[in-house]
Structure 1
Amino acid sequence: MAALWTCTLLCGVLAATVAQATFSTPAVLILGPEVIKERLTQELQDHNATAVLQQLPLLSAMREESSRRSFLLSGLLDTILRHVVWLKITSASIPQLQLQLSAQDQELVVKIPLDLVAGLNTPLVKSMVELHLQSEVQAHVTATASPAGPALLVLSDCFNRQGSLRISLLRKLSFSTNLIEKQVTSLLMPALPRLVKTQLCPVIQAAFEDTYAGFLRLVRAPIPLSPGGLLFDLLSSAIEDSAIQLNLQAKLLDSQREVTNWLNDTSASLAVPALGSAPFSFVLRQDVLNAVVAALFPPGKLAVQLDYVLPDLAGELKSGIKGINEQAAGKLDRTQLVKLQTRKTPQLLLSQGGAQATQLIVLDLFPTNKAQRPLFTLGIEAKSEAQFYLQGDRLALNFNNISIDRIKLMNSDMKLFNPELLKDILSRILESTLLSTENGKLRTGIPMLMVKALGYESATLSLTTDALVLTPADSNSPVSCC
């Protein structure tokens, strides 16, 4: 655990060095080219893109093309076209997609290569003529503002990239075969791009829409807390450095799914680290983490009979009080009771060097469990180390090494005294009682199913000055060393 914490601190330092953009949004999900390509490729398969390619009506498209320029047709071309029995795609594949940032602002270029083999049967040649067709379809993804809602991503300008179409014979059988290939190519060169535009581009459009909708479903999936839940929704979409960036709003729900806290304070900034080579990153602002901690355990009370639970600490406390007021120490019996009341839930403070949790505590010491008045009441400002870690698919938090920053005597049923004299023993009592109780409630963690939903087995954490960053553990991102 110590090694994990050390690495988390180092990750925080590295993350801070690459922070390049600041937003006023509670959370950000950045999806890199690798994730986008994988999801879009899968959607193209699900939409049967290769089957659509195999069904392209090449022959009818060639005939339409010939009718457009019939006055230019030579007798040979006319003869060949009339004697084509059939022409169709016999095999089709879509090699690896490519993504790149466009020269236009807020625009992503998707390049979809096509690798096709077409068979042509004509009595002019004894065997089937096979043509190899290679081309590249381009489509542009842009962020479009909507007056009725957040900015969304749309795919537009789908077309065959000019000059990308190449047609060649797979086998050069004879002079007549080469001649047929030349004449057919002259018609396919303009006909195929039109077929791609009308037949394939709508499939690409639908595949992207489903890819984008899948990303939105992913971020909108409720994260259960106990009680209540955490819910994200889209504020805006953007294109940043060949990646899709989803800026998210956040809200907390109670057990009846009623909103208890909107976390959209625009005055709170979020420095988003550069994605680097990581497939994706999920960035949570500090106030979101604080709200989750508050939902897991709201301010409450804790009563401990020290002699039964922590007899050694009970003896040390009694000795400390005896040094201040011997008469008061004599009132303490084996049922002495420490009552702790947290005025606020712990507040997380993130930094490049790690995280701390601060909290305000009221401590009452009753000499017996029947006493109506406390021997004294103290106001305590305490802090502890806050350690984030992943436990399976859950984000968990642990508090360690509580210390008292300030301590004030609020009420005393014995003479006035300096509470600093009890600071050390009270710190150990808080460590053994309050911190162990809080850690027990935090141990269940927060489900982070996004990692596996995006196809990765494990994740890693890093800290910046105002956020927690989640990235896949097997990436080489500079912000994810742990």
Structure 2
Amino acid sequence: MCHLPTPKKMASPRTFTFLCGLLAANLVGATLSPPAVLSLSPEVIKQMLTQKLKDHDAINTLQQLPLLSAMKESAGGIFSRLVKSILKHIIWLKVTSASILQLQVQPLDDGRELMIYVPLDMVAGFNTPLVKTIVELHMEVEAQAIIHVETGERDHTRLVLSDCSNTRGRLRISLLHKLSFLLNSLADKVIRLLVPALPKLVKSELCPVIKAAFEDMCADLLNLTKVPVSLNSDHLEFDFMSPAIDHDVHLILGAKLVDSEGKVTKLFNDSVDSLNLPSLHYTPFSLTMRKDVVNAAVAALLPPEELMVLLDYVLPETARRLKSSIKVISEKAANQLGPTQIVKILTQENPELLVDQGNAKVAQLIMLEVFATNEAYRPFFTLGIEATSEAQFYTRGDLLMLNFNKISSDRIHLMNSAIGLFNPELLKDIITKILASVLLPNENAEEDGCPSLES
């Protein structure tokens, strides 16, 4: 970083920690009305829901399935006598091991809903007085549920999980190990009773756990969007507005800028220009932010400030070139430049982000003054500069970084001069060099750069 002294407090390093450090950037043009949209692929939903099912101990739920009771309830009427004749040979029947295989989350044909597939693999054992051996059954079943957007009272929308069942899912029950003819026959009868009973158990016992896990996941997502983004003393805060599904899950966010005292200084309304900030470390998250939101963030990070540089000490070759350029205008003025000559750079207004065909630039108004020595009160001249630089978003670890490159002096105006009138375009190349060497390292908060006046 160039530790350049300034009358104002220097801005902190130009980093955003967006949404728990999960987001990063690559510029893409887009059209969007909401201030921000957090998009999550089905892969994200799968990973989060898998973890939530573990948190809710879904495996224990499977191991506690009341198989015997379900068999009795599923076979009533004329079959009750048959069921009793079978069950009198069963001492106990329970799930001895269970696992949830890899979840799948896939968009349905219209892309407006997501189907969740929860495949289950279980082994159940039953004991009979006929033999001392435990008879084991392999049970494969799949729970399915649909994620969609539900509109409630006052047009309030939310993500919901519905139609959880095994209606269309896989169901297979088989004898794990072949035994005697008598036990095989008994096992076949137990399997015939379990085939209608197991889907009902999935719906009554496991589906509530899946729904609770889903609701916890939604709560975590909403909390994720509420993490404030620190911008020096200000914060960028997001408010959840509504969800949407279009192959991915999209969380529509409002945005506001809040000062250090908690006062809202800017609310963001409808607009059209936006930036797409896709995933960090290939994580299937993406954040789309409107241009005015990013502009406010950049402005908070880069407030107007003043930089003063001992040019001959910091950038001696640049100082030599500046002297040669001034010599073309006034040889007398050039000869007055001493080893303590000072260049003062003042950024006069907040920078503005410009988006054009997927590229981003930052426009700034800059005032530059050249003093012959550090004791001079009056500058040789004052220039007004309309400058632009490339804005590049990139990632460093779990941080989203903003960097400025290749500054250009698009227009230069002579505001006042103590060495006579001259065409400021004569100094364009050297002025651009100074801005690139002094201003850009400061704005990028580079750790390695030019020494300060206090060095």
Alpha-carbon spacing, 1:330–1:90, altered in 2? closer, same or farther (3 Å)? closer
Q: CA deviation at 1:372?
A: 4.8
| AA aligned opposite 2:394 | Y
CA contact (8 A) 2:237 2:258 kept: yes
Higher relative contact order (CA 8 A, sep 6+): 2
- 1:321 equivalent in structure 2: 326
- The superposition leaves residues 190-227 of structure 1 with CA deviations (integer Å, 9 ceiling, x where unpaired) of 32222222211111111111222222323322333333
1:54 corresponds to 2:63: yes
Distance 1:185 1:400 in 2: 70
- The superposition leaves residues 25-50 of structure 1 with CA deviations (integer Å, 9 ceiling, x where unpaired) of 33333222322222211211121111
Q: CA deviation at 1:322?
A: 3.6
1:97 corresponds to 2:106: no
Distance 1:399 1:272 in 2: 18
Alpha-carbon spacing, 1:163–1:360, altered in 2? closer, same or farther (3 Å)? closer
CA contact (8 A) 1:27 1:282 kept: no
Which of 303, 306, 309 aligns to 2:308? It is 303
- The superposition leaves residues 314-359 of structure 1 with CA deviations (integer Å, 9 ceiling, x where unpaired) of 4443443343244555665555443322122333334567543321
Distance 1:88 1:56 in 2: 7
Distance 2:305 2:150 in 1: 47
- 2:253 equivalent in structure 1: 248
Q: CA deviation at 1:140?
A: 0.9
Matches within 5 A, 1:257-272: 257-262=262-267, 264-270=268-274
- 1:338 equivalent in structure 2: 343
Which of 165, 181, 188 aligns to 1:159? It is 165
- 1:280 equivalent in structure 2: 284
- 2:35 equivalent in structure 1: 26
Aligned-residue Cα RMSD (Å) equals 3.2
Alpha-carbon spacing, 1:173–1:375, altered in 2? closer, same or farther (3 Å)? same
Alpha-carbon spacing, 1:430–1:57, altered in 2? closer, same or farther (3 Å)? same
Q: CA deviation at 1:111?
A: 0.9
Alpha-carbon spacing, 1:105–1:126, altered in 2? closer, same or farther (3 Å)? same
Alpha-carbon spacing, 1:322–1:199, altered in 2? closer, same or farther (3 Å)? same
CA contact (8 A) 1:397 1:442 kept: no
Can you give the 5+ residue segments of structure 1 that lack an aligned partner in the other structure?
1-10, 444-482
Q: CA deviation at 1:301?
A: 1.7
Distance 1:227 1:120 in 2: 66
CA contact (8 A) 2:275 2:288 kept: no
- The superposition leaves residues 53-72 of structure 1 with CA deviations (integer Å, 9 ceiling, x where unpaired) of 11111112222334x32x34
- 2:6 equivalent in structure 1: none
- The superposition leaves residues 284-338 of structure 1 with CA deviations (integer Å, 9 ceiling, x where unpaired) of 4344433322222201222334344444444443443343244555665555443
Distance 2:185 2:437 in 1: 90
Alpha-carbon spacing, 1:128–1:252, altered in 2? closer, same or farther (3 Å)? same
CA contact (8 A) 1:253 1:261 kept: yes
| AA aligned opposite 1:338 | V
Give the structure-1-normalised TM-score.
0.77
Residue 127 of structure 1 aligns to a residue in which SS?
strand
Alpha-carbon spacing, 1:196–1:401, altered in 2? closer, same or farther (3 Å)? closer
Which of 126, 129, 138 aligns to 1:123? It is 129
Residue range with higher mean Cα deviation, 174-183 or 132-141:
174-183
| AA aligned opposite 2:64 | Q
Q: CA deviation at 1:266?
A: 1.8
1:135 corresponds to 2:141: yes
1:358 corresponds to 2:367: no
Alpha-carbon spacing, 1:308–1:174, altered in 2? closer, same or farther (3 Å)? closer
Matches within 5 A, 1:174-253: 174-241=180-247, 243-253=248-258
Alpha-carbon spacing, 1:266–1:192, altered in 2? closer, same or farther (3 Å)? same
Matches within 5 A, 1:330-409: 332=337, 335-351=340-356, 354-369=359-374, 371-409=376-414
CA contact (8 A) 1:136 1:161 kept: no
CA contact (8 A) 2:409 2:428 kept: yes
CA contact (8 A) 2:226 2:239 kept: yes
CA contact (8 A) 1:34 1:279 kept: no
CA contact (8 A) 1:387 1:397 kept: yes
